[in-house]
Amino acid sequence: MVNKSQIAGLAKQLKGSVKKAAGKATGNRRVQAEGVADKIAGKMQKAYGDIKDKFRKVI
């Protein structure tokens, strides 16, 4: 089962990937760095959702 944190994390990862690519294509390092940060934040949020999901299955 998928929870809100997992979906939001995946969405943030996708947003980060797009932002990183846009920054790279335009040569804008700030946008590229923001994309990397969004991608990392998305991975962390998805990991939190995964843990929450596993905990729910145990109980």
pLDDT tens for 2-51 read 899 999 999 999 999 999 999 999 999 999 999 999 999 999 999 999 99
Whole-angstrom distance, CA of residue 4 vs CA of residue 20: 24
Q: Which residue has the tokens 């145990």?
A: 58
Domain that holds residue 18: 4-58
Q: Which residue has the tokens 């979906």?
A: 7
Q: How many domains does one find in the chain?
A: 1
This prediction has a pTM of: 0.86
- Whether 1 has a pLDDT exceeding 80, the answer reads no
